[in-house]
Structure 1
């Protein structure tokens, strides 16, 4: 019996993410693309016409009655870290640990329950949970002295380790600091205290842990990330820290999938500062080589990622004025190194994504992007700046004028994780935190993501924060600057249509219209009718990628 490649999805309320389009009622999927999106009456007429004179010899269209469910384009996480996300789901979770005692208890219990584990890995602890915001190896040694313990901070820009982990990494009083990073030390003895900032973590901790990770473990982590994304309505991801190991895992999964992945991945190659311009430019050349070699509907290397500064929680973001304690941070990428790298990537046609959280870092990032414009001439660049948690009004206007995409993550503004963030600034700067609507009012493109695993990956709670500025972790908390809240239609558009634009795939992804790829999500609740609070309780009934159902939830969908 022949099976039709056409499917009619009817009896639905469809948010198309088209700027000027209204709500549709039905869709016809033909193969991996949408053949029609519009009224149910017209869809039924087209299907009936096909049945009388079928264009497809495989036969008439299958019909799926969605029972009035809500449909929208598949979410595209505009900023994530896939392998890290999968790995984090296997670590001891500490985001909701309120204090040091709770952190110690969870690590101790995990160690007791896993006596054969060679080391303990934890994630997402908050600075506000640590006395004085200053973690030390002794705090972990008190509960796990005999095995290495590595604990990622919530922002993934620092790591807290015990004495055994320091020894495993070979870190002692003579181990040097690196450009853009620091090993915290005892001021009297010079010994490492157990806290690694920025590039110190990248250079010492990450390679050690990577050397202890097998290909099978990396593949499992990627598969775990894909599984969780599909179950929450994500059909595409922009990976923001791709390296050789992560790329190899994706290529293995692509081969096993006979040229497909569970969802679409567009990746930025991480360029690390070396202090040697030839080495920096060689990393750009490698990214350009990969962008030419890897360009499939499922996996593409689209650009480079540069981390220009750190984070506000750890006082490592580069600010125009000092933090509340009088300190400040240097740029990880000074302009004399940053500008040539950005210009070289731009000349290769690569998209440049620059992590810039501090207001000084975003200015320097814009300087570099403007420099590339002047060196290489006009082009459809779609470069991006990531995060911009604090940014001047002048920089926002300049970003819009240059056509740079503002890539931001509502989950970082969740009031439940803001206590330490606000305290580190401690002044008027907290009153313009995460100013999403200022970007859109200026005419800039705003792409929304999660930055998983630094924050929860689920898009619907992310949309709740975007539209209410309230906490998805603790909705009882007061809203965080509600003047910057987005409308629901705008938030969904920024997480679908504009996320696709941000990776140059808006011609085929991010909207539901004839000719677009059939990547969409069916929810059991219409948040436009049920209200914004429903974003915290709605569930995914179907996730469809390329016309194929990749996830089916508990809500029954009837196929005729």
Structure 2
């Protein structure tokens, strides 16, 4: 996308003619002009245009190819799309930015196809790590392994890992983040034995002989993680830098950060203050940090700090766990685990109290809820809160449910009725649907799981995303899942429950304008309109028209945030 001298001279000639042969420059000179490819605006009044002009951090002009000439000056950079497609800057609607960075620093297990591969990857890291040093990793998922070992309660045991890596404490988080595997050394350091009490809201998995298997589900993880040394400021900075590079590479201009404590919020502020954040980061407060919540509820929201890079105005809470670890809280027992209903990981009365305080202080509430009971309980809390505090500071609360994977059919219309936003990561359907039917059974899958089109038709707005590092952060995989209802391998033909597919326009909106709405910024971003922030993603293929199977072959050519090019492909 290098500046074309020929195109520049042609534009300059047209401009000269249009100015009646005068040599005066334009009244307002654009910093950048972009044209010569399909431009999808997400503006219902002007859905597709031929060209845009950018001045500083905003769109100066959005319209026809001829109309943009009026803003061409000597220093204007011409970006010729050469037929490539441009869309509003993509927003990651729910992910964990530090986790994205640390997944690159630690052992990334997402591509492991077997338990043996997991062990081999950890052993390779151990060979270059001093004995006694913790080795951490994330991303394994037993239901995605092509070769499965002997398992207990559906999960591997620590034995193979402990034999291969006996002298390093090892802690490997499940892809979902809601379970983890520790080796014998890790359990020894943490003081875990067959006498350790089971925690509320979680479980230490035990073998038939009554010994810990190494699997720690939900809140039980805290029994081990308290013994893992804290990250350093230097490693945090390195992780954040790596995560930002990943975001820009994949066309992400905005990011809804699903839960941060004070140290990381201060780190974001440091990056933003010196101009290194660039990403429009929308932060949810860690709802388990009472002191942090009290501070923010007293002082109020922080919005568009440091040239609109950073906003803190939401609270992240957890109602249940994950479906893969059978931690999602269900109304009826798991189909593949009789008597098991999942876990309520945070007392509901505590969630309700925090929700009320946040609402009164003008903060948005975002609760993790995956199972149908968790979703119902959260919707009930929201409904009671709205009725109890009609004069709240939250005039338009836009409360959210994060993940919202599985509902009782009776609860689906309640989202639109109450204005609650389902923040749903389409890629979870693609990755989980092949085995999720074992957890829920055919009827619950068809009537209440991954119900995108039903929610949209009811009037709800969906925010899309990846939940990275649970899944890779690329938006195009989630876009593909949204419109195909297939795995990333293209199965099954026609997609799972195809009536729930999104259209391509709906899928793009879930990554742009509706994501902006969920962050109270649809007036400034999410669409390409004059006066809005110039956040753009340029793709080397037109994802709105190409055959479905080519979507995953599409790459990001350029990412622009506030008029600044933050990523440009070779």
Give TM-score scaled by structure 2 length. Answer: 0.88
Shift in Å, 1:314? 1.1
In the alignment, does 2:223 pair up with 1:204? yes
Q: Secondary structure at the match of 2:532?
A: coil
User: Does residue 381 of structure 1 match 2:397?
Assistant: yes
CA distance in structure 2 between the aligned counterparts of 1:294 and 1:504, rounded to whole angstroms: 10
Q: Per-residue deviation at 1:243?
A: 1.2
1:85 to 2:100 alignment: yes
Q: Which stretch has the larger CA shift, 420-429 or 440-449?
A: 420-429
Of 422, 431, 446 in structure 2, the residue corresponding to residue 431 of structure 1 is: 446
Matched, 1:110 2:125: yes
Post-superposition offset of 1:477: 4.6
Work out whether residues 291 and 301 of structure 1, in 8 Å CA contact, stay in contact via their aligned partners in 2. Answer: no
**Matches of 2:47 and 2:281 in 1, distance apart?**
29
What is the CA–CA distance in structure 1 between the aligned matches of 2:234 and 2:562, rounded to whole Å?
A: 27
For residue 288 of structure 1, report the CA deviation from its aligned partner.
2.5
Tell whether the 8 Å contact from 1:411 to 1:456 is kept in structure 2 after alignment. no
Task: Please tell me whether residue 452 in structure 1 is matched to residue 468 in structure 2.
Answer: yes
Is the CA contact 2:262–2:292 (under 8 Å) kept in the aligned structure 1? no
User: CA–CA distance in 2 between the matches of 1:477 and 1:427?
Assistant: 16
Q: Which has the larger displacement, 30-39 or 161-170?
A: 161-170
After TM superposition, give the deviation of residue 225 of structure 1 in Å.
Answer: 0.8
Q: Match of 2:287?
A: 271
Residue 89 of structure 2 aligns with which residue?
74
Residues 355 and 226 of structure 1, relative CA distance in 2, 3 Å threshold: same
- Quick one: distance in 2 between partners of 1:94 and 1:367? 38
1:229 aligns with 2:247: yes
- Structure 1 residue aligned with 2:199, among 170, 178, 187? 178
Equivalent position to 1:161, from 182, 197, 201:
182
Q: Deviations over 1:113-172 (max 9, x none)?
A: 556782322221113245342232223112111111111101111111101112233333
Q: Distance in 2 between matches of 1:483 and 1:352?
A: 30
Does the 8 Å contact 1:125/1:154 carry over to 2? Answer: yes
Structure-to-structure mapping, 1:213-224, within 5 angstroms? 213-224=231-242
For 1:319 and 1:513, the matched residues in 2 are separated by 43
1:477-496 → structure 2 map (5 Å cutoff)? 477-478=492-493, 479-496=495-512
User: 1:56 — aligned with what?
Assistant: none
Do the aligned residues in 2 keep the contact of 1:153 with 1:160 (CA within 8 Å)?
Answer: yes
Rounded Cα–Cα distance in structure 2 between residues aligned with 1:248 and 1:545? 22
Q: Which residue of structure 2 aligns with residue 558 of structure 1? A: none
CA distance in 1, matches of 2:516, 2:225: 30
Q: Distance in 2 between matches of 1:169 and 1:4?
A: 63
Structure 1 residue 292, shift from structure 2 partner: 3.6
1:388 Cα shift?
1.5
3-state SS of 1:527 partner: coil
**2:526 partner SS:** coil
Following TM superposition, by how much is the alpha carbon of 1:310 offset from its aligned partner in structure 2, in angstroms? 0.6
Alignment partners' CA distance in 2, 1:290 and 1:8: 41
Give yes or no for contact 1:180–1:198 (8 Å, CA) kept in 2.
Answer: yes
3-state DSSP of counterpart to 1:504: coil
Look up the match of 1:533: 549
The 1-side partners of 2:299 and 2:207 are apart by: 43
Match of 1:362 among 375, 384, 387: 375
Identify the match of residue 19 of structure 1 among 44, 54, 58.
Answer: 44
Q: Verify the 8 A CA contact 2:261 2:292 in the aligned structure 1.
A: no
Paired position in structure 2 for 1:121: 136
SS for the counterpart of 1:40 is coil
- Give 5+ residue unaligned stretches, structure 1: 52-58, 273-278, 555-560
Alpha-carbon distance in structure 2 between the residues aligned to 1:94 and 1:127: 11
Tell me, yes or no, if the aligned pair for 1:33 and 1:515 is still in contact at 8 Å. yes
Q: Distance in 2 between matches of 1:447 and 1:127?
A: 28
Aligned to 1:54: none
CA distance in 1, matches of 2:514, 2:225: 32
Task: Give the root-mean-square deviation of aligned CA atoms.
Answer: 2.2
Residue 7 (1) aligns with residue 27 (2) = no
Q: What is the Cα deviation at residue 286 of structure 1?
A: 3.2
Name the CA shift for 1:253/1:169 in 2 (closer, same or farther; >3 Å).
farther
Q: Whole-Å Cα distance in 1 between the matches of residues 174 and 343 of structure 2?
A: 20
Runs of 4+ that moved beyond 6 A: none
| Structure-2 separation of matches of 1:499 and 1:292 | 19
CA contact (8 A) 1:284 1:344 kept: no
| Match of residue 308, structure 1, among 302, 319, 335 | 319
Residue 451 of structure 1 aligns to a residue in which SS?
A: coil
Tell me the distance in 2 between the aligned counterparts of 1:287 and 1:182: 33
1:538/1:196 Cα in 2 relative to 1: closer, same or farther (>3 Å)? same
Distance (Å, rounded) in 2 between the aligned partners of 1:332 and 1:417: 21
Q: Which runs of 5+ in 2 are unaligned?
A: 1-27
Partner deviation per Cα, 1:275-302 (whole Å, 9 max, x = no partner): xxxx85x553234357545651111111
Comparing 333-342 and 27-36, the one that deviates more: 333-342
Stretch of structure 1 that moved more, 116-125 or 481-490 = 116-125
Query: What is the alpha-carbon distance in structure 2 between the residues aligned to residue 264 and residue 344 of structure 1?
Result: 26
Instruction: For residue 174 of structure 1, report the CA deviation from its aligned partner.
Output: 4.5
CA contact (8 A) 2:383 2:418 kept: yes
SS at match of 1:426: helix
Structure 1 CA distance for aligned equivalents of residues 226 and 156 of structure 2: 22
Query: The residue matched to 1:528 in structure 2 has which SS?
Result: coil
State the 1:354 CA deviation: 0.7
User: Aligned partners of 1:482 and 1:291: how far apart in 2?
Assistant: 44
Contact persistence 2:327–2:342 (CA under 8 A): yes
Q: Note the C-alpha offset of 1:19.
A: 2.8
SS of equivalent to 2:351? helix
The DSSP-based 3-state class of the residue aligned with 1:109 is helix
